[in-house]
Structure 1
Amino acid sequence: MKKQLTIAALLSLTFSYSQDTYQQDTSAVKEIKEVSITKKTFKKESDRFVYDVSRSPVAKGNTAFGILKATPLVSSTDDKTLKVLGKSNAVIFMNGRRTNMNAEAVVELLKNTPAENISKIEVITVPGSEFNVESSEAVINIVLKKKLDDGLNGNFRLTNHQDYYNQQSGAVSLNFRKNKLGISTHINGSNWQRRQYYSLQNGTVEYQNTSEGPIADPNLNLGGYLNMDYALTERQNIALSWNSWANRSYGSKGELFNTIITPAGTTFTKTINDEDARSYNNSLNLNYEIKTDSSGSKLNMNVAYLNYKRFQHNINSTFNSNTQRETLDLTNRFKQRAPQVIDNYAVTADYLHKFKNDLTVSVGGNFSKTETDNDTYFEKLNQASGIYIKDDNQSNHFIYQEQISGAYASAEKKIGGKFSGKLGLRLENTHSFGEILNSDLSIKRDYSNLLPFASISYDINEQNNISYSFSSRIRRPSFWELNPVRTYLTPTNYIQNNPFVKASEVYNNNFTYMFKQSYFFVVSHSLTKDDFSQIPLQNGDELRYIRTNYGDKVEFSATVGTQKSFFNSILTTNTNLGLQINRVDAFLDQDPITGDQFSPFIIDTHTNSLLIQTYNTLRLSSKKDWFLGVNYWYVGAHILNIGTLKPLSSLDISIKKIWNDWTFNLEATDLLRTNIVKVDDTQGNGNYNFVTNDQFNRGVQLSVTYSFGNKKIKGVRQIDDASKDAKSRTR
């Protein structure tokens, strides 16, 4: 049930990490001319890889999310997040403007945006100092199609997906240009329900607990965007962008049957959680751009506002039960109300100057102010009186304010036609203050970070290129992670957020060798100092997942891959094969909020994992109207901060028919039922914690897309949203 009973918060790292482990960072590749794939489909330009979607055989009838999964260096294993090789969740831009929405809204938008709207996808594996992004985040910029003359065009898409439940979605996109005015708008809606089944096993020498059962989470979504761009003069433009998204999840229900074994005997209980939740996300961005010369120098300024609201109410009830899993007498019930409101105000200014001697210099700065309000109300049922009584220990009103100021300078230079290099330096200052009203708890932080960036590339000859890059970044906790609220799975098993979580430092090194502009070999190393996540602490029959800083994490990877077409473009493949070595050094024995002592949780080990990813499109007819898609990925077992993730894999097959302006696409996912998350951890003191999550990923989806109107439409220009850095830290 959202982040609450679905235990998405508990397994957020598990799901995202399962994807990180089979993608390696090719960030240091520089000055590769281009890869010859289906009329130059994939090529390297300066600091980014460019995928020409308009020339791709997998584009028509696909969605933005689907085409991103088929984009070189990008993939997804959980159908919820997108990764760039070796990176955490990718930051999504559209026309150079960050999609200023929370993660769920971005996924809904991408899954309902037809790929026919896209001209190209730019993948920036290691963003330079000019990018204000967190940690090792990569940037994916989706460039919408451009017009050659005035007019109106658009498309609509209908999708029906069947796995455990039936799900429907629809979307409409319109593009209009008249003289100096350009307008682009998109509206999408969906009605989906996800079935999940959990098995949670944990225990100590004397206590053992098993909780298992289904979770159903119905969702209604409505969202979209409106972009308007007006040319004041030949060199000056002004633009206004509005993104909006609303979600309603009423009637979510989770049922966990609990078997508790203690020295006194075995007892059975059933925990039922009923939840109603709704979320809203709205953002505005005003942009002004002026070109200062004919060589491409320009000044770009943005002012933005973001408002995010989430209202959640749940009733958690535990009953005595028996071996037949019948619901007997009530033993415990509580209500929890946990609203969250986030307001973000941001401004940015960037100036880029291009000199005649192949030198490009960029300078700029940003300021962001965020205010969050989290008013959690917790009340327990007094069974004798039938009255709910407020629990002051678990009710709190947490206020958090944060200001981030940043400035950067970078210079990029080409030397002699074979060498190119880039140096950058970013300075960030963070000032934050959080407090629980009417209590003694408050946290104040004021710190600065100097973040260098460097890269160099050398073209040995027309067929061989080597490159290296180094970057340093800060990873800050999401705003919801700082809210000190508990999310109960059972009365003795819950997730605890933490306002004391500190930012982590991340250092990345990448070496890349490219051969014949089609094949690449990448070695990547990443060190995260004082990383944070959810760490399981056990004491008797109690299990707390504490969100806190736990230690260091090291990732080393080596991968070989290709993106290429064969047999006169009948077969197009995007394939990677790699090895990843992960090391985690974790230690925790105390709840950082309450100070309660637990048996130590320790991880001091490493794992070696095999990684396979292959996406293939086979053209079945000479008319180019029938296509077969065969996709497969595999992730070997590897260590996480909460235990060892068992192997994951998925085989997906699709068939597509193009008929004039209509496209029909039928897809079957996870045919072998191998995409089931399993995490195991056994401590030296005998404590164990096993988690299994089955999301019923096997399913069938049919989509129908129709395009209409003038196909020669000039798109709105690329804009970079000022409040982009706050978006990814909302829920």
Structure 2
Amino acid sequence: MKTKTLIAAIFFSGLIYAQETPKKDSAETKSIEAVTLTKQVFKKQSDRFVYDVAASPVAKGNTAFSLLKQTPLVSSTDDKTLKIIGKNNAVIYINGRKTNMDAESLTQFLKNTPAENIQKIEVITLPGSEYQVESSDGIINIILKKKMTDGLNGNMRMGNSQNYYNSTYAGVSLNYRKNKLGVSANINTSENIQEQYYILRNGNDKASNQSEGRVTDPNKNLGGYLNIDYQLNDNSNLALTWNSWANRSYGSTSNLFNTINSKNDAGIALPTKYNYTKNLENARSYNNSLNLNYEWKTDTLGSKLNLNAAYLNYKRFQNADNKTFDSDIFQNLSQYPTIEIKQSTPQVINNFSFLGDYIKKFKNDFTVSVGGNFNKTKTDNDTQSTTTVFDASGNPAELFENGVRIDNPKENPNHFIYDENIYGVYLTLEKKFSDKFSGKIGSRYEMTNSVGKSDNTKNESLRNIERNYNNLLPYVSLNYAINDNNNISYAFSSRMRRPSFWELNPVKNILTDVNYTQNNPFVKASSVYTNEFTYMFKNSYFLIINHSFTKNVITQVPLQREIVKDGINYKELRYIRTNFGDKQEMSAMIGMQKSFFKQYLTSNFNIGMQRNVNNGFLNTDPITGDVFPDYVNKIKSNSLLIQTNNTVRLDKNKTWFLGVNYWYVDNQQIELGRLKSLMSLDANIKKVWNDWTFALEIYDILKTNKVVITDYQDNGNFNYINQNQYNQGLNFSVTYNFGNKKVQKIRDISSADKDIKNRTR
């Protein structure tokens, strides 16, 4: 992973917004609209919240991504990823089937999909056993409108953003249908430079380090997809889906000025030492996948059989050159580096997946779902690392250890191969007992077998790592409509969170010569158990109370210890990816989704409290066995969460819209320490003109979306992280919709490798 993944452990619930509405042309249309306005725009159904977009004044000229940001319980802090409040991640489904795309191409797909194509959006905060999702992930299910006319349509979108640097993006989407054949395609490209400014401090009263400087990461992206769907007969369909995404990041730099303070054994301060670390990185990655789907409708009640087979190939190539120079306080550098670390960290992932499920519906409102899946994955990580120490003349120095000369430069190869097989089966029973009461019960059983091997490492513990474990994951949900205005529901879910493949690759990501991140092949899957109670009033106001318990939390842990180099005390800091105890999260959220003043104002508001209870302890590097002073996080914290998204229609013809959005996350304790409060005020204005939509968006107006983490241990060690990602920005976009607007969308197909894809990023 890139240097910027140093803070990859910082996950928190974010928040933001966007908007729209349909046109009226005739008296007949006006009559229909009068009925539509009486529909329930937002309501609770069984195990999900349903947002009826077609009945809400928010859809014309918008994109699917912007519409999702406005959906109740859904938010985004970076205009790239979507979250469900209280969840780690939002997994996107379309028409009940998961999209077969990686994160980047999925974002572009949603930003190039017209919101007018969407009938409703379902938010599933606790997915049932039939869904393959990990840990505390929630699901956003997009239900598309059904349109029956043959023809061609599509849209073009282009835009420009100004943050620290300028960036551009463009995309074209096409949909074609002729009789039984449906084809959908997209191609999109973007170019941007991500800028970050870090301040990192660690140490104690005897020795401390500070690293401060910039990380600049240029990116060029090209992606797209092709879906071909053919109706074999009235009851069966065959579909082939291809997705592709490529990223090139050449010339990524990290320039950090390091300040080292230390005292001798008598407690007398030694002269401050300065050095400067320059890191140059070139990386490129490719993600390609194929998915074959067969669907057979077995009766008129909606029973159906779904079969999926998929192949995924992911490649990432990365080379880094890290040099440290002696320096003075004015950053005047020595002519030659004192140490140079060169790394090549490629990763290749191949996966074959199969998924089959059958849904049987009965006339008495009883549904049985049964299915199974198989995933076979192999990752190949051939890491090469060379460390060279230089003398004052710029030549490799003579190095001795315990009086014995050691290699300089020193080679440290590590060829790590990881094989994993996952077998899973599930059974779900769902029953509607009456118009008021319904329930669902189910369970998923998973078996995981994995072997990790390093064939050329000097570390014996990495030569063969076998893992075999089985998990039974029950689920239950109950929903009761007390009357037309009051609804209550309860759900319990158990899930697993497997480590991503890059987390298992035992490679160091060098920040400075005494500061690095370390991945870990010994990381175990964590288990998450969640209880959730929901109350809804008049389909506009809701209360959600949630409790989750995570066992064997997967995160980064900062271990630090004193080392001596050239007679000077340094603080060595390792951010170790590992399991770190248990964690509880409790939250209570009150929310509202409602339109006012004849739909001139649409407002979404959430406010709640979250309590985190951490229970983690670590003092040993799981890779090397090195012992460190204890790192302990057994701190509890309470945090206030606020989100409000508001859309104002500025004219009678529904062509001008103003959006004002705000989110706030209070101080809270996470695994790395105490995360300072975060907030962002955003605004946008939009003009709809025939088939054109023009939008201007401003993010983080007050420059308050910055990450600051502080941690103080009882043993005197401290750790401080200040990360500015320059989130303030201006974005202008133009979207043009063309062609036959009644063209039927082809079936959106789930991929058999859907949860494997999530673990490549």
Give the TM bin, normalised by the shorter chain. over 0.9
Q: Which of 519, 523, 537 is matched with 2:559 structurally? A: 537
Equivalent position SS for 1:630: strand
Q: Which of 279, 287, 292 is matched with 1:286 structurally? A: 292
Q: Which of 461, 466, 486 is matched with 1:444 structurally? A: 466
Q: Which whole-Å CA distance do the structure 2 matches of 1:51 and 1:468 have between them?
A: 20
Letter in 1 for 2:483: N
Question: 1:206-240 CA deviation, whole Å, 9 max, x = no partner?
Answer: 11111111111111101111111111000011111
Whether contact under 8 Å (1:378, 1:390) holds in the other structure is: no
Partner of 1:591: 621
Q: Which whole-Å CA distance do the structure 1 matches of 2:103 and 2:229 have between them?
A: 26
Partner of 1:466: 488
Partner of 2:72: 72
Q: 1:367 aligned to 2:374?
A: yes
Partner of 1:483: 505
Question: 1:438-497 CA deviation, whole Å, 9 max, x = no partner?
Answer: 343211011111110011111111111111000111111011100000001111010000
Equivalent position SS for 2:580: strand
Q: 1:421 aligned to 2:439?
A: yes
Q: 1:704 aligned to 2:700?
A: no
Partner of 2:697: 667
- CA RMSD after TM alignment: 2.0
Q: 1:516 aligned to 2:538?
A: yes
- How far does residue 246 in structure 1 lie from its aligned partner after superposition? 0.4
Question: 1:533-572 CA deviation, whole Å, 9 max, x = no partner?
Answer: 1000010210000111110000000010011111111000
Whether contact under 8 Å (2:15, 2:75) holds in the other structure is: no
Whether contact under 8 Å (2:100, 2:750) holds in the other structure is: no
- How far does residue 698 in structure 1 lie from its aligned partner after superposition? 0.9
Partner of 1:307: 313
Partner of 1:257: 257
Question: 1:249-271 CA deviation, whole Å, 9 max, x = no partner?
Answer: 11111111111111232111111
Q: Which whole-Å CA distance do the structure 2 matches of 1:689 and 1:345 have between them?
A: 42
Partner of 2:589: 559
Letter in 2 for 1:477: P
Give matches, 1:674-685, under 5 Å.
674-685=704-715
Partner of 1:713: 743
Q: 1:380 aligned to 2:361?
A: no
Question: 1:37-71 CA deviation, whole Å, 9 max, x = no partner?
Answer: 78544344443333344555444444433222211
Partner of 1:348: 355
Q: Which whole-Å CA distance do the structure 1 matches of 2:682 and 2:179 have between them?
A: 45
Partner of 1:12: 8
Q: Which whole-Å CA distance do the structure 2 matches of 1:76 and 1:400 have between them?
A: 34
Relative distance call for 1:417 and 1:112 in structure 2 (3 A) is closer
Relative distance call for 1:690 and 1:557 in structure 2 (3 A) is same
Relative distance call for 1:310 and 1:390 in structure 2 (3 A) is farther
- How far does residue 310 in structure 1 lie from its aligned partner after superposition? 0.5
Q: 1:548 aligned to 2:578?
A: yes
Whether contact under 8 Å (1:338, 1:376) holds in the other structure is: yes
Whether contact under 8 Å (1:37, 1:563) holds in the other structure is: no
Relative distance call for 1:148 and 1:386 in structure 2 (3 A) is farther
Which deviates further from its counterpart, 520-529 or 718-727?
Answer: 718-727
Whether contact under 8 Å (2:289, 2:312) holds in the other structure is: yes
Whether contact under 8 Å (2:225, 2:244) holds in the other structure is: yes
Q: Which whole-Å CA distance do the structure 2 matches of 1:146 and 1:390 have between them?
A: 67
Whether contact under 8 Å (1:123, 1:139) holds in the other structure is: yes
Q: Which whole-Å CA distance do the structure 1 matches of 2:83 and 2:54 have between them?
A: 22
Letter in 2 for 1:404: I
Q: 1:494 aligned to 2:516?
A: yes
Question: 1:305-351 CA deviation, whole Å, 9 max, x = no partner?
Answer: 11111011111111111222233231111211000000110111101
Equivalent position SS for 1:609: strand
Partner of 2:448: 430
- How far does residue 76 in structure 1 lie from its aligned partner after superposition? 1.7
Whether contact under 8 Å (1:454, 1:470) holds in the other structure is: yes
- How far does residue 78 in structure 1 lie from its aligned partner after superposition? 3.5
Q: Which whole-Å CA distance do the structure 1 matches of 2:324 and 2:66 have between them?
A: 41
Larger-Rg structure: 2
- How far does residue 116 in structure 1 lie from its aligned partner after superposition? 4.6
Whether contact under 8 Å (1:36, 1:518) holds in the other structure is: no
Partner of 2:403: none
Q: Which whole-Å CA distance do the structure 2 matches of 1:530 and 1:128 have between them?
A: 22
Relative distance call for 1:109 and 1:274 in structure 2 (3 A) is farther
Partner of 2:333: 327
Letter in 1 for 2:353: A
Q: Which of 714, 724, 734 is matched with 1:694 structurally? A: 724
Partner of 2:272: 266
Relative distance call for 1:314 and 1:109 in structure 2 (3 A) is farther
Which deviates further from its counterpart, 315-324 or 164-173?
Answer: 315-324
TM-score (norm 2): 0.91
Q: Which whole-Å CA distance do the structure 2 matches of 1:698 and 1:298 have between them?
A: 48
Q: 1:409 aligned to 2:427?
A: yes
Letter in 1 for 2:3: L
Equivalent position SS for 1:249: strand
- How far does residue 93 in structure 1 lie from its aligned partner after superposition? 2.7
Q: Which whole-Å CA distance do the structure 1 matches of 2:298 and 2:543 have between them?
A: 40
Question: 1:510-533 CA deviation, whole Å, 9 max, x = no partner?
Answer: 011111111101110000011121
Which deviates further from its counterpart, 108-117 or 423-432?
Answer: 108-117
Q: Which whole-Å CA distance do the structure 2 matches of 1:394 and 1:461 have between them?
A: 68
Q: Which whole-Å CA distance do the structure 2 matches of 1:514 and 1:49 have between them?
A: 10
Q: 1:637 aligned to 2:637?
A: no
Letter in 2 for 1:434: G
Equivalent position SS for 2:68: helix
Q: Which whole-Å CA distance do the structure 1 matches of 2:53 and 2:539 have between them?
A: 18
Q: Which whole-Å CA distance do the structure 1 matches of 2:37 and 2:675 have between them?
A: 35
Q: 1:646 aligned to 2:697?
A: no
- How far does residue 574 in structure 1 lie from its aligned partner after superposition? 1.2
Whether contact under 8 Å (1:532, 1:547) holds in the other structure is: yes
Letter in 1 for 2:357: D
> What runs of 5+ residues in structure 2 fail to find an aligned partner?
17-34, 264-269, 398-406, 563-570
Equivalent position SS for 1:106: helix
Q: 1:336 aligned to 2:354?
A: no
Whether contact under 8 Å (2:639, 2:668) holds in the other structure is: yes
Whether contact under 8 Å (1:18, 1:645) holds in the other structure is: no
- Percent of aligned pairs sharing the same letter: 59
Whether contact under 8 Å (1:145, 1:713) holds in the other structure is: no
Q: Which whole-Å CA distance do the structure 2 matches of 1:254 and 1:55 have between them?
A: 50
Q: Which whole-Å CA distance do the structure 2 matches of 1:520 and 1:622 have between them?
A: 31
Letter in 2 for 1:427: Y
- How far does residue 108 in structure 1 lie from its aligned partner after superposition? 4.2
Q: Which whole-Å CA distance do the structure 2 matches of 1:604 and 1:255 have between them?
A: 34
Q: Which whole-Å CA distance do the structure 2 matches of 1:567 and 1:652 have between them?
A: 23
Relative distance call for 1:544 and 1:710 in structure 2 (3 A) is same
Partner of 1:28: none
Letter in 2 for 1:411: L
Partner of 2:652: 622
